[in-house]
């Protein structure tokens, strides 16, 4: 089994804490309101970002996903790479669409562990989808 995603603990806990501390230092205001508003905004955004991420493994032609909706397996033929999150300073996020939603989940988001697997991953998805249609 090959791990495709980076660890999500950093994105769920470490990065929001780092941003909150950085924002508190940056907006070192004399009033409590001057610090509270940016802190709440940053904490809310970073928490929202981190909790949407999943851990993803590739096991042959099946994806093993552990995310906000629980753990499930989905055939690679039922997956479509929708977005690779290029650009910006934020972490690159891959978004996978599922042909058949699993437990109400129709998209899986993850931060890739390595950036060089995209072309191979896309080729494997296309091959699996082509084999399903044949």
pLDDT tens digits, 93-122 = 889 999 988 888 899 999 888 777 888 888
Average pLDDT for 20-48: 71
Cα 130 from Cα 116, distance rounded (Å): 23
Give bridge partners of residue 59 from the DSSP assignment.
62
Could you tell me the pTM of the whole model?
0.77
> Residue 34 above 90 pLDDT?
no
Average pLDDT for 42-65: 87
Can you give the pLDDT at residue 79? 93
Query: Helix, strand, or coil here: 124?
Result: helix
Handedness of CA 106, 111, 66, 19 (dihedral sign): negative
> Residue 59 above 90 pLDDT?
yes
Structural domains of the chain, count: 1
Can you give the pLDDT at residue 19? 75
What domain range includes position 45? 2-133
CATH value at residue 52: 2.30.29
Can you give the pLDDT at residue 32? 65
């Amino acid at each position: 089994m090959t791990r495709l995603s980076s660890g999500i603990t950093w994105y769920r806990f470490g990065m929001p804490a780092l941003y909150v501390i950085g924002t508190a230092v940056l907006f070192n205001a004399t009033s409590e309101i001057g610090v509270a508003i940016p802190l709440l905004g940053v904490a809310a955004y970073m928490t929202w970002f981190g909790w949407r991420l999943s851990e993803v493994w590739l096991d042959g032609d099946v994806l093993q996903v552990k995310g906000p909706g629980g753990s499930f397996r989905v055939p690679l033929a039922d997956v479509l790479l929708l977005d690779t999150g290029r650009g910006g300073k934020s972490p690159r996020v891959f978004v996978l669409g599922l042909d058949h939603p699993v437990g109400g989940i129709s998209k899986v988001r993850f931060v890739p562990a390595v950036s060089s697997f995209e072309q191979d991953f896309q080729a494997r998805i296309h091959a699996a989808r082509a084999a399903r249609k044949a």
